[in-house]
Structure 1
Amino acid sequence: MKCIIVYYSLEGNTEYIANKLAEVTGADKLRLIPKKEFPKSGFSKFFWGGKSAVMAEKPDLEQYDFDSDYDEIIIGFPVWAGNITPPIRTFVADNLEKLKGKKISAFACQSGAGAEKAFEKLKSVLGIDTLNETAIFIDPKDKPSEQNDLTLEIFSKKIMRQ
């Protein structure tokens, strides 16, 4: 089974999980990079990131290659205001036809809460009723924990079983 991890990471937590997941599963990776990066600190990070997520903005992305020959797509993102990040929204909009009929799993990184709501938003933009598998990580790069390690192990095994 051919698998790819498509992710956006602002502060490195999502990239950390994407790298670990790729190590274990052998999946390819595709990092989404907005042409205009979001602020990484202070009030502006929360204001502009949250506003962009809530307003369902779709920023332009740096050029990337995405083939439709993957059997499973794993989408990873940080949770912003209980929502998927705008670069993920752009990716889905740009590749909706290529994503149809694929197994789609997702993981979210958060500091507080909102991942379940973000998964619902992701399903909505994808036009599907269920995600194949999901996982939630709490600040995995910045605050390593046994719970994050266990979640990664379980999520990886579920992905590889299919």
Structure 2
Amino acid sequence: MNTLIVYYSLEGNTDFVAKKIADKLQADLLRLVPVKKYPEKGFAKFFWGGKSAMMAETPELEPYSVDWNSYEQVIFGFPVWASNITPPLRTFIRDNHELKEKRLAAFACQSGKGAEQAFKKLTDTLEGNTLTATLILFDPKVKPKDENEVSIQEFCDSLS
């Protein structure tokens, strides 16, 4: 099954996992990049990211191209911000109605909690689509664990 992984990563955790999944599934990657970057450190990172997520903002993204006829499955990846999906992912979903015809899954990286709520909000944003599989990881790049590798493999197995 041809798969596209669409993801946003601020600190590298989501990018780290997206590349692992892409390698296992031989999937293509699309990293979402907002035109206006989010702060990467300190209080500003949490304030602006959390505010943007809670307000369901949809920032402008740098140009990208997707040939929807090439994909049967789309996997979303995102860090959890204020128990929500990241705004760049929200923009992507809003702008791509072709997603309604695809098999969808998602993975989330978090430092604390909120991924379950974020998946619910993601499903609400998808307007009728459901997620066939989900995966939650805790800071997988900065806090690697053997169990993460097992979880990633199980997630991939459920999608192939």
TM range (shorter): over 0.9
Question: SS state of the match for residue 147, structure 2?
Answer: helix
TM-score (norm 1): 0.96
Cα distance in 2, alignment partners of residues 7 and 137 from structure 1: 15
**Which residue identity is paired with 1:73?**
V
- In structure 2, the partner of 1:150 is 150
Q: Does 1:87 align with 2:61?
A: no
Q: Kindly report which structure 2 residues correspond to 1:67-82, keeping only aligned pairs within 5 A, or say none.
A: 67-69=67-69, 70-82=71-83
Which aligned segments of 4 or more residues in structure 1 are displaced greater than 2 angstroms?
Answer: none
RMSD between superposed Cα atoms in Å: 0.8
In the TM superposition, what whole-angstrom CA distance separates every residue of 1:26-73 from its partner, at most 9, and x where no partner exists? 000000000011000100000000000000000000000112121000
Q: Kindly report which structure 2 residues correspond to 1:1-162, keeping only aligned pairs within 5 A, or say none.
A: 1-69=1-69, 70-95=71-96, 97-128=97-128, 130-160=130-160
Cα distance in 1, alignment partners of residues 74 and 128 from structure 2: 14
CA shift, 1:129, in A, is 5.3
> Which is worse superposed, 151-160 or 39-48?
151-160
Cα distance in 2, alignment partners of residues 67 and 128 from structure 1: 22
**Which residue identity is paired with 1:125?**
T
Q: Which ranges in structure 2 are unaligned for 5 or more consecutive residues?
A: none
Q: Which ranges in structure 1 are unaligned for 5 or more consecutive residues?
A: none
